[in-house]
Amino acid sequence: MALSGDQTDLWSSCALEASSSFFDIFPTVGQDKGLVSQMPDFQSLSPSRPILNGAVNFRACMAPMVGLSHVAFRRLCREYFPKEAVTIWPTEMLNSRRIPVENLVTTPETMRSDCETHLVPQILGNEEKPIELSVKRLEEEWGAEGIDINMGCPVKKALSHNYGVALMGDAKYAAEVVKMTVKGTKLPVSVKLRAGHQNDTTYLLEFVKGLEGSGASWITLHPRTAEQKRRGSADWSQIRTVRENVKIPVIGNGDVQTAEDAKILMEQTGCDMAMVGRALTARPWLFWQLGEDWGFPAPLGREGERAPRTPEEEGAEYGRSLMRLSQLIQEHFPGDLGLRKFRFYVRTSGPWLLFGHDLYARSTKAKNFTELDEMLKDFFSREHTLAARTELRQ
């Protein structure tokens, strides 16, 4: 959908700025009841503090990511998601000034598929009216099951508009934003935040308690400061401190690269769920691996298979997942936009693949999806390996 300059600015101001700050190529952007009797007791696997009114029984979820957490990637991850498992699914951050006027069906950031459930879209904003109108539309027209408020976006534009991580500078106002959001909906409202501006744990606790007192149903903490953006490493000890000092569920986020990492994060911090961002683009089957460890059945259509684990198995699955993503992107997005989204995905996931830079370079040369699909077939006709961990750079 073509957006006018002004609309584009309002819709995804962060996305556009993000494109120049960290990426050149940023896009403009059933259950099988027959098995139930053999199933483990999923309730015992659920987060100990209920999320989405207790519907969530799986302790890991996808992070909201501009240009990445779109319908095609969510569908890809769902195809790898264990049967019988339920988690929350994000959108990219959505500017609350745009949602009231946007076509939610055709706008790339709000496209969704009918098969998607438990969607918790993320909004960016700080003004009562746009938030109220956005939440109403997302709840009544779009089918949101929860609303997440972004208090972590660190780009300049968010700071100048006083939303995103800027809200972390004013604990009282941030709590007001939660109050105004909660007031307009029956849905649970959550907040995704950072470590603030200077790793001040006393302030972080005061801040989070304000959100809790205003009716936030859960929070997600990505414990990096605004200034760090995504550099350095996430300080998981802050997740533990916050979890110990509030009563609502806490989702921990930052630097999870493998299923093992997700389990360590939960063990070390006591957090209710692990949220995975960048690494999920490299291994969208990470939830399958976790599900297998936790006793969930394989994903629909993969019954009797084990999740890929070795570098070779993961390398081959990465190739298959890219081919599937190409199909899904073509189902949802027009050609050029789809190609940009695909390349951005390869750029994000490539660092885990030996020769990922070569794959990315080739993806930039493909002029259309026919060329892209041929390139993928050729590239993955040879064996490739996926590293468990890589240096997280972007």
Ligand X SMILES: Cc1cc2nc3c(=O)[nH]c(=O)nc-3n(C[C@H](O)[C@H](O)[C@H](O)COP(=O)(O)O)c2cc1C
Q: List the catalytic residues.
A: 153
Please report whether residue 150 would count as binding ligand X according to CB under 6 A: yes
Closer to ligand X by Cβ: residue 65 or 85: 65
Question: Closest approach of Cβ 280 to ligand X, in Å?
Answer: 7
Closer to ligand X by Cβ: residue 219 or 246: 219
In angstroms, the Cα distances linking 356 to 27, 48, 175, 353, 390 are 20, 39, 43, 5, 12
Closer to ligand X by Cβ: residue 68 or 246: 68
Buried-state track 228-260, b at ≥16 Cβ within 10 A, e below 16: bbbeeebbbebbbbbbeebebbbbbbbbbbbbe
- Stretches 150-158, 170-178, 203-211, 300-308: which one binds ligand X (CB under 6 A)? 150-158
Given 102, 255, 314, 317, the residue binding ligand X (CB under 6 A): 255
Positions of E strands within the chain: 60-62, 89-95, 119-124, 147-151, 189-194, 218-222, 250-253, 273-276
Cα–Cα distance for residue pair 391/17, rounded to 1 Å: 24
Q: How many residues bind ligand X (CB under 6 A)?
A: 23
Burial of 201 (0-12, 13-18, 19+ CB in 10 A): middle
124 and 153 in contact (C-beta within 8 Å)? yes
Q: Which of 335, 317, 352, 349 is nearest to 68 (CA)?
A: 349
Question: Closest approach of Cβ 194 to ligand X, in Å?
Answer: 8
Residues paired with residue 192 on neighbouring β-strands, in sequence order: 150, 220
Strand duo 189-194 + 147-151: pairing: parallel
Letters for 331-370 (x = contact with ligand X by CB under 6 A, - = none) are ----------------------------------------
Please count the residues of the chain: 394
Closer to ligand X by Cβ: residue 222 or 343: 222
Closer to ligand X by Cβ: residue 81 or 163: 163
Q: Report 152-171 residues binding ligand X (CB under 6 A).
A: 152-153
Given 66, 85, 248, 259, the residue binding ligand X (CB under 6 A): 66
Question: Closest approach of Cβ 124 to ligand X, in Å?
Answer: 8
Question: Closest approach of Cβ 248 to ligand X, in Å?
Answer: 18
Closer to ligand X by Cβ: residue 249 or 277: 277
Full DSSP string of 57-83: --SEEEPP-TTTSSHHHHHHHHHTSBT
Question: Closest approach of Cβ 164 to ligand X, in Å?
Answer: 8
Given 276, 286, 307, 346, the residue binding ligand X (CB under 6 A): 276
Quick check: helix, strand or coil at residue 219?
A: strand
Cα–Cα distance for residue pair 7/384, rounded to 1 Å: 42
Residue nearest to ligand X (CB): 277
Given 192, 283, 347, 384, the residue binding ligand X (CB under 6 A): 192
Q: What is the largest CA-CA distance in the chain?
A: 57
Interface residues with ligand X (CB under 6 A) are: 63-68, 92-93, 122, 150, 152-153, 192, 222, 230, 253-256, 276-279
